[in-house]
Structure 1
């Protein structure tokens, strides 16, 4: 299915719709319309078990623009039956005239334990991706018994022949390698140093080469926390310090190990009395006094893995991501209206290759 209409001016840039927590999912409609007017390329939709169902948000985003690419980033293959996920993706693909990419991730083992769902493995993801692609090609699948489950019969109730990109959200080396082997696109994590971004790009492309794939055909998105100095305090610091602290709450060991940061500083963060007593997510529930305390607790090196300051400085930080080897950048923690002030500066710095970026976030060209 071809994509109708002109390509967005900044197809190389994306944003997260409804970044973080929200009580008003309808705000996504205005975000996507604003992003369309600004020429941003893609909206990425995370899923939370609150007011952020991936299927509903995907349909809303696809219907709110004729140009913007739409991707889940991410949902999990084990929270819906594979036929339901395949159906959701085909619906979004056709509704958007080919602008949709299905983004999958590993999720959180503790949450899956509480939900009585199997923990996700690489074998499961590989099997699930293969099943999805076969269903999208219109195949009938009979007596499948594999890592993703046992299915006596699977088939979409249409004559399908869909080419829907699959994007993996990855932070650990195992998932990065898997992405290189099976995915069309990859979304990296927020708060990675430039050196880490460059190393992870190398892991993905090396895995693709070893799998006999074209390593240059995989679209790699970095995720850059972007909060310019035009965002008022205390919200500006909350989006950087509060968000990083929330990540450290959830999977600090992985993030610190990935970046090669000082593990002793993570231990000190966890041992802090206020951190131990806090209930909830820092980026959503912390008071200004909590955020000030966290600012003094977290190393400046850690929070500097973001784009802050003037529009020019933010644009240069975006360029740093391209210099590290990625193909596109998701500007995280900012609404399209808050991204707008840096776009003139970015236009003067954007590499020539950005002009060729595809509208679908799971396609490179």
Structure 2
């Protein structure tokens, strides 16, 4: 993951290092008030040749769904099969700062997801919801094939909604292996309730990761800043084997993709992605 605590001008060297090292995916955040997800995602796709780029996630209160669909479709047509799009509530305090906080974030996310997936499927959409209104809207340049729309979630109602209305779920680094098991159960419930195949849903989880000199101290400091004690079962610090073991625990709990999230104080972002691709990845199936 390229964290937005890094200046935007650092992105190119991290992308080049990740692509050259054979990393499967590089993930980005749209984080108030640091860096935009679509702009950094487009640059990362343009600067790389083969890896997929995940945008996890775009806060829906900031975006008209038609704009999100237009931008996502453009990325998918320019870089087929490589973009991964995630949307979510956003941090509510930040949404309040920009005048975008809504009374029911859950309703907004449901309406946004349903309209976004329909637009990206090439449909003409007319809908009048509490927050999302479209009148005969269709993309002139929809993606040339099916695309996934993922949604982020933390609480049980939101996670269940991701099963109902999204194609995948993004779980934060505050999620332990036991948490992954719990959320996967709710995702399955949501998909079954919506009449969707419960076995075709991608689960992505972030894993706070530190390696090299001072790794344990950096991990403890970041967890403490988030209000977590050392026994919370979150994150990993150590060598490649320790990180691979932590990844394996999350995949055994139900995650399909584990994204290594460096600490905010990671001293060598380019070295971190090479470590992920060249040292950790060979230790995994």
Q: TM-score, structure 2 length as denominator?
A: 0.87
Contact 2:120 2:142 in 1 (8 A): no
1:244 corresponds to: 223
1:58 corresponds to: 41
Task: Look at both structures and tell me which one has the larger radius of gyration over its CA atoms.
Answer: 1
User: What's the CA shift string for 1:328-358, capped at 9, x where partnerless?
Assistant: 100011635224346565455423xxxxxxx
2:259 corresponds to: 330
- The one of 178, 181, 198 aligned to 1:195: 178
- The one of 94, 99, 112 aligned to 1:128: 112
1:167 corresponds to: 150
Structure number with greater CO (CA < 8 Å, separation at least 6) is 1
Contact 1:184 1:218 in 2 (8 A): yes
How many residues get paired? 279
Structure 1 residues 177 and 140: alpha-carbon distance in aligned structure 2, compared to 1, 3 A threshold? same
Residues 248-259 of structure 1 correspond to what in structure 2 (within 5 A)? 248=227
1:320 aligns with 2:254: no
- Following TM superposition, by how much is the alpha carbon of 1:20 offset from its aligned partner in structure 2, in angstroms? 4.5
Contact 1:140 1:154 in 2 (8 A): yes
2:195 corresponds to: 212
- Following TM superposition, by how much is the alpha carbon of 1:190 offset from its aligned partner in structure 2, in angstroms? 0.5
1:182 corresponds to: 165
Contact 2:56 2:152 in 1 (8 A): yes
Structure 1 residues 338 and 54: alpha-carbon distance in aligned structure 2, compared to 1, 3 A threshold? same
Contact 1:319 1:349 in 2 (8 A): no
2:231 corresponds to: 301
Secondary structure of the structure 1 residue equivalent to 2:90: coil
Contact 2:208 2:261 in 1 (8 A): yes
Secondary structure of the structure 2 residue equivalent to 1:73: strand
Contact 1:187 1:221 in 2 (8 A): yes
1:279 corresponds to: none
User: What's the CA shift string for 1:261-291, capped at 9, x where partnerless?
Assistant: xxxxxxxxxxxxxxxxxxxxxxxxxxxxxxx
- The one of 332, 350, 359 aligned to 2:284: 350
- Following TM superposition, by how much is the alpha carbon of 1:320 offset from its aligned partner in structure 2, in angstroms? 1.1
Residues 60-209 of structure 1 correspond to what in structure 2 (within 5 A)? 60-119=43-102, 121-142=105-126, 144-158=127-141, 162-209=145-192
The runs of at least 4 consecutive aligned structure 1 residues that moved more than 6 Å come to none
- Give RMSD over aligned pairs: 2.4
2:8 corresponds to: 25
Contact 2:260 2:276 in 1 (8 A): no
Structure 1 residues 237 and 122: alpha-carbon distance in aligned structure 2, compared to 1, 3 A threshold? same
Contact 1:63 1:95 in 2 (8 A): no
Contact 2:236 2:242 in 1 (8 A): yes
Deviates more, 1:113-122 or 1:172-181: 113-122
1:12 corresponds to: none
Deviates more, 1:63-72 or 1:53-62: 63-72
Partner Cα separation in structure 1 for residue 39 and residue 180 of structure 2: 31
